[in-house]
Amino acid sequence: MDNSNKNEIVSGIILMGALVAILSVFMIWVFYDFGVGIGIDGTDIIEDSFDGSEKYMAIATCALGIIAFIVAIVGKYKPEYGKYMAIVDVVLGIVMIALIAYFMMWDVFSSGTYSPDIGYGVYIALIGSIIVLVGAACQTYISYKG
């Protein structure tokens, strides 16, 4: 298998990871269980009564996922920029993982009896971000090796 086929496959992996991170913002990020479960998706956290910059992490992750998606497309269709775009995607993957980790450490999740839980959208975003990071690292390795 030559490097162009490997780059095609790895670019597709990066695109899938970025798409998963983008779509995760529409999933439940904060969950309350008062007998009847109430979920707040990533777009509604901003409008809720939470304090702190953590409430913007879902939208920031989505924005970085969109950027990673665009960068992966450029790297796929412009092979001469492929290795540079892969490095950008590595950085974006690291930043997305850091933002999600920061969100998961938000003190609202441990503040009392009726404190909310982390929703599944956060974990989906984390998986997408890890896929972007691993795919971009593989693409960087392939680009510089061959």
- pLDDT tens string, the chain, 146 residues long: the values are 666 778 888 899 999 999 999 999 999 888 877 666 778 878 787 776 666 777 788 899 999 999 999 999 998 888 788 889 999 999 999 999 999 998 888 766 666 666 778 889 999 999 999 999 999 999 999 888 76
Q: What are phi and psi of 22, to 5 degrees?
A: -65, -50
Beta bridge partners of 28: 41
pTM above 0.75, yes or no: yes
Domains, the chain, with CATH or none = 3-145 (1.20.140.150)
Give the whole-angstrom CA distance, residue 106 versus residue 125: 16
Instruction: Provide the CA 102 distance to its chain's centre, in angstroms.
Output: 13
Pairing of strands 28-33, 37-41: antiparallel
Residue 95 CB-density burial (10 A; 0-12 exposed, 13-18 middle, 19+ buried): middle
